[in-house]
């Protein structure tokens, strides 16, 4: 029987999708942070469950050739960069394997999985940070929680965010200290500031700061916002988002502008985009551009085609596709994102784009009733993938091509299998590393209707 606190010598035999090494003792799996396949280690058992347990490394006897020195212990403790100890080429291979295994599980072995496209930047690539705060010795500090706990760890260098964002967070924290803003306390559901969100346009460098507060009342909110704008010249908007719920969802429903223009602008594939606080925007801009371009190339678009962009956000894919097709229809559930999308279409002088607010699975049947007959459907859903009814309506609409951009290979493979059953074919898929040093992988593939 495996006992808690007991020590064992083990060999790591696998790596989970969460980046944990796996060792087996008498067929009982133990998950161990900061280990790689092939490594021989002494571990201490931390937790014993019915089917699996967790351990931590006490000593390395043999390390993997894929191991590199970790730069910052806090990044592993908090889960900011759980693969920082793995050579970048090995990270790319691990991500390709994830996509292959997900397709294999859904009996899609005929699909060729290409090598993962590396990110142009392996560190400091994120254009957005959302961090919790604490007051430590009278000073507001930013950081992250230790994984699976509520223990706060102060961090100055987050490693994967654009460096301007790290610098801005320190200045904002200092200003908040000067204004005497209190930090939210989860357990007691009291205090003011829950999170600071900073977003910076990759090309424009324009910055938006959003202060997420428990209540609307933020003492001297406008003066505070003005100070942030004065001290950080790239900040063009300071927003307040109110989240009064006992939840770990970061943003609440209501956002107000405290100072500045209320949005930032950025560029993707040569088009300009207005982005407001509640709107989704890809965090690794140049890599997202590469991935969109791949989807466009694989879809072989032409000027007589009708296209749909489901899950369209602020219209980044819609406007990138629009010049190549006759008409394109975008749908998105977040209303402010569609406000941005409409404005973005106008600013980029596109007249063949149409947007609707709503759930893709509800709007698609309406478009079907209106007689909109797409030749190609682009989908870029959240991690849970496509709604079953969305897949069914798409199959009824029978577009020639379905261009699928995914941030979760498991739901991607599940949805591909459904389309395959209905007579679609997927020949190849391209994984993209959008989030270096983490376990996440995005991929793109275009399904073709078989005649």
Q: Candidates 331, 338, 341, 444: give the one binding ligand SAM (CB under 6 A).
A: 331
Using CB under 6 A, which of the segments 173-181, 208-216, 254-262, 274-282 binds ligand SAM?
A: 274-282
Check residue 357 for interaction with ligand SAM (CB under 6 A). Answer: no
Q: Candidates 48, 250, 269, 333: give the one binding ligand SAM (CB under 6 A).
A: 333
For residue 125, count other CB atoms closer than 10 A to its CB: 23
Q: Which two tokens stand for residue 430?
A: 């391209």
CA distance 161 to 173: 17
Using CB under 6 A, which of the segments 209-217, 345-353, 354-362, 426-434 binds ligand SAM?
A: 354-362
Check residue 251 for interaction with ligand SAM (CB under 6 A). Answer: no
Q: Assign 429 to helix, strand or coil.
A: strand
In the complex, what is the shortest distance from the CB of residue 324 to ligand SAM, in angstroms, rounded to a whole number? 16
Of the pair 31, 390, the CB lying nearest ligand SAM is at 390
Of the pair 180, 382, the CB lying nearest ligand SAM is at 382
Q: Which residues contact 287 (CB under 8 A, 6 or more apart)?
A: 117, 119, 120, 125, 432, 433, 434
Question: Residue 55 in contact with residue 45, Cβ under 8 Å?
Answer: yes
Of the pair 77, 285, the CB lying nearest ligand SAM is at 285
State the virtual CA torsion across 331, 335, 341, 343 in degrees, nearest 10.
Answer: 140
Check residue 206 for interaction with ligand SAM (CB under 6 A). Answer: no
Check residue 180 for interaction with ligand SAM (CB under 6 A). Answer: no
Using CB under 6 A, which of the segments 195-203, 216-224, 326-334, 421-429 binds ligand SAM?
A: 326-334
In the complex, what is the shortest distance from the CB of residue 317 to ligand SAM, in angstroms, rounded to a whole number? 5
In the complex, what is the shortest distance from the CB of residue 179 to ligand SAM, in angstroms, rounded to a whole number? 33
Of the pair 64, 408, the CB lying nearest ligand SAM is at 408
Check residue 289 for interaction with ligand SAM (CB under 6 A). Answer: no
Strands 428-432 and 112-113: parallel
Helix 388-397 and helix 360-369: axis angle, to 10°? Answer: 20
How far is it between the farthest Cα atoms of the chain? 69
Check residue 287 for interaction with ligand SAM (CB under 6 A). Answer: no
Rg (CA), the chain: 24
Check residue 382 for interaction with ligand SAM (CB under 6 A). Answer: yes
Q: Candidates 8, 28, 179, 280: give the one binding ligand SAM (CB under 6 A).
A: 280
Check residue 356 for interaction with ligand SAM (CB under 6 A). Answer: no
Using CB under 6 A, which of the segments 62-70, 230-238, 309-317, 424-432 binds ligand SAM?
A: 309-317
CA distance 289 to 273: 13
Long-range pairs, 101-105, Cβ under 8 A, ≥24:
102/409, 102/410, 102/412, 102/413, 103/409, 103/413, 103/416, 103/429, 105/410, 105/413
Burial of 233-245, coded b for 16+ CB within 10 Å and e otherwise, reads ebbbbbbbbbbee
Phi, then psi, of 351 in degrees rounded to 5: -110, -5
Check residue 360 for interaction with ligand SAM (CB under 6 A). Answer: yes
In the complex, what is the shortest distance from the CB of residue 150 to ligand SAM, in angstroms, rounded to a whole number? 28
Check residue 415 for interaction with ligand SAM (CB under 6 A). Answer: no
How many positions of this chain bind ligand SAM (CB under 6 A)?
20
Q: Assign 329 to helix, strand or coil.
A: strand
CA distance 363 to 108: 30
Check residue 313 for interaction with ligand SAM (CB under 6 A). Answer: yes
In the complex, what is the shortest distance from the CB of residue 225 to ligand SAM, in angstroms, rounded to a whole number? 26
Q: Which residues on adjacent β-strands are paired with residue 216?
A: none
CA distance 293 to 166: 30
Number of helices (H) and strands (E) in the chain: give both, helices first.
10, 24
In the complex, what is the shortest distance from the CB of residue 149 to ligand SAM, in angstroms, rounded to a whole number? 28
Count of CA atoms in the C-beta half-sphere (13 A) of 391: 21
Chain residues 95-154 in contact with ligand SAM, contact rule CB under 6 A: none
Check residue 334 for interaction with ligand SAM (CB under 6 A). Answer: yes
**Chain residue whose CB lies nearest ligand SAM:** 313
Q: Which residues are documented as binding site for S-adenosyl-L-methionine?
A: 282, 311, 332, 380
Q: Which two tokens stand for residue 389?
A: 């009814």
Using CB under 6 A, which of the segments 34-42, 53-61, 129-137, 358-366 binds ligand SAM?
A: 358-366
Question: Residue 82 in contact with residue 76, Cβ under 8 Å?
Answer: yes
Check residue 434 for interaction with ligand SAM (CB under 6 A). Answer: no
- Catalytic residue, from 102, 108, 312, 407: name it: 407
Check residue 391 for interaction with ligand SAM (CB under 6 A). Answer: no
Catalytic: 102? no
Which residue ranges make up the site for ligand SAM (CB under 6 A)? 280-282, 311-313, 316-317, 331-334, 337, 359-361, 380-382, 407
User: Would you please indicate which residues are annotated as catalytic (active-site) residues?
Assistant: 407
């Amino acid at each position: 029987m495996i006992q808690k606190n007991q020590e064992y010598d083990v060999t790591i035999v696998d790596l989970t999708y969460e980046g944990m090494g796996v060792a087996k003792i008498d067929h009982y799996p133990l998950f161990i942070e900061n280990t790689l396949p092939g490594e021989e280690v002494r571990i201490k058992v931390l937790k014993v469950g019915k089917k699996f347990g967790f351990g931590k490394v006490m000593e390395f006897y043999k390390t993997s050739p894929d191991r590199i020195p970790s730069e910052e212990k806090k990044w592993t403790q908090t889960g900011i960069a759980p693969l920082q100890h793995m050579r970048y080429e090995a990270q790319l291979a691990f991500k390709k394997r994830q996509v292959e295994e997900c397709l294999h599980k859904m009996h899609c072995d005929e699909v060729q999985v290409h090598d993962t496209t590396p990110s142009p930047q392996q560190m400091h690539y994120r254009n957005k940070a959302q961090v919790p705060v604490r007051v430590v010795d009278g000073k507001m500090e930013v950081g992250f929680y230790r994984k699976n706990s509520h223990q706060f760890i102060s961090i100055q260098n987050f490693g994967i965010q654009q460096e301007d964002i790290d610098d801005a967070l320190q200045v904002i924290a200092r200003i908040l200290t000067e204004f005497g803003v209190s930090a939210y306390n989860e357990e007691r559901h009291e205090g003011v500031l829950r999170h600071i969100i900073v977003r910076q346009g990759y090309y424009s460098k324009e910055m938006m700061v959003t202060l997420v507060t428990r209540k609307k009342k933020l003492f001297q909110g406008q003066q505070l916002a003005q100070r942030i704008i004065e001290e950080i010249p790239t900040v063009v908007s300071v927003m307040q988002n109110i989240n009064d719920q006992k939840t770990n969802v970061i943003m609440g429903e209501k956002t107000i502008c405290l100072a500045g223009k209320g949005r930032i602008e950025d560029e993707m594939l040569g088009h300009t985009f207005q982005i407001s606080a509640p709107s989704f925007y890809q965090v690794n801009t140049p890599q997202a551009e590469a991935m969109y371009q791949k989807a466009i190339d694989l879809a072989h678009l032409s000027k007589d085609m009708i296209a749909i962009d489901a899950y369209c956000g602020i219209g980044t894919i819609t406007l990138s596709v629009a010049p190549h097709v006759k008409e394109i229809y975008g749908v998105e559930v977040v209303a402010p994102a569609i406000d941005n999308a409409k404005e973005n279409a106008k600013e980029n002088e596109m007249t063949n784009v149409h947007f609707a607010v709503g759930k893709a699975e509800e709007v698609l049947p309406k478009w079907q009733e209106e007689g909109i007959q797409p030749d190609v459907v682009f989908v870029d859903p959240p991690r849970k993938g496509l709604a079953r009814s969305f897949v069914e309506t798409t199959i009824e609409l029978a577009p020639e091509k379905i261009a699928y951009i995914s941030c979760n290979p498991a739901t991607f493979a599940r949805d591909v299998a459904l389309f395959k059953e209905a007579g679609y074919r997927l020949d190849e898929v391209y994984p993209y590393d959008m989030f270096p040093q983490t376990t996440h992988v995005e991929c793109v593939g275009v399904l073709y209707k078989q005649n």
